[in-house]
Amino acid sequence: MKALALNCTLKASPETSNTEALARVVLEALGEEGVETEIVRVVDHEVRPGVTSDEGDGDQWPQIRDKVLGAEILVFATPTWLGRPSSVAQRVLERMDAMLSEQDDDGRPVAFNRVAGVVVTGNEDGAHHVISEVCGGLIDIGSRFPGRPGRTGTAARARATTTSTAMRARTGRIPPAAPRLRTCCRWRGRGRAADPAAAVVVLRGPGP
């Protein structure tokens, strides 16, 4: 099982990104459950504006798209600016629009039934609005979310939730040592690789 995090910070490498730091909390917990993890800082790549899967020579979105479709878990990480997702996050969602009409060999949307989670840096400056915008876009392309995906928690609680999510995605069971997790995450789905359990991780941090 593989998890991919898309870091939609506005800061190019090697500048420090708080959004990446929070995303790595999620990936670390998933890694401890045997999940292969990778993070992509989108701003380091030439992702052209558009709504197709390939906008021509020099466009590096096709390589990122392949990583998205090659992962069972997608962690979408963005800072909050003026109460909204970053411009990089918006561009990623626009490029994902092409997935609405693309199908796999079984005739299903190519991004259908993947587990998705959201990491938002910021506090009370529009985080819930950012969560709703990102979740809405990912739901459109076929990602799986539980009810009330705007649940938030501290980094420690979110880290525990992420660990439980990985176990659920593999086994279909909620770990017995996680009674508190129901306060910050809900699950649904049958837990099979082709139809993984749906979960969301929402972190709010000190700033972008």
DSSP string, 137-179: HHHHHT-B--SSTT--B-HHHHHHHHHHHHHHHHHS---TT-G
Most confident of 132-136, 168-172, 196-200: 132-136
What is the C-alpha separation between 61 and 30, in angstroms, rounded? 25
Give the per-residue pLDDT at 123.
Answer: 63
Side-chain half-sphere exposure of 49, counting CA atoms within 13 A? 2
What confidence tens digit (pLDDT) does each residue in 151-171 have? Answer: 333 344 444 444 444 444 444
Tell me which of 181 and 121 has the higher pLDDT. Answer: 121
Least confident of 38-52, 103-117, 134-148, 152-166: 152-166
Tell me which of 60 and 204 has the higher pLDDT. Answer: 60
pLDDT of 184 > 80? The answer is no
Give the per-residue pLDDT at 206.
Answer: 47
Give the per-residue pLDDT at 125.
Answer: 66
- Which one-letter DSSP state was computed for residue 121? E
Least confident of 1-5, 12-16, 131-135: 131-135
Give the per-residue pLDDT at 115.
Answer: 86
pLDDT of 135 > 80? The answer is yes
Most confident of 20-34, 55-69, 169-183: 55-69
Query: Hey, what amino acid is at 10?
Result: L
pLDDT of 78 > 70? The answer is yes
What confidence tens digit (pLDDT) does each residue in 84-126 have? Answer: 999 999 999 999 999 998 988 888 888 888 888 888 887 666 8
Give the helix/strand (H/E) hosting 27: helix 18-32
Give me 32's structure tokens. Answer: 């401890």
Q: Which domains does the chain have, with CATH numbers?
A: 2-205 (3.40.50.360)
Question: What confidence tier does 127 reach under pLDDT thresholds 50, 70, 90?
Answer: confident
% of the chain beyond a pLDDT of 70: 68
Mean pLDDT of 126-141: 89
pLDDT of 48 > 70? The answer is yes
What is the C-alpha separation between 8 and 99, in angstroms, rounded? 19
Can you state the angle between helices 18-32 and 155-171, rounded to 10 degrees? 40
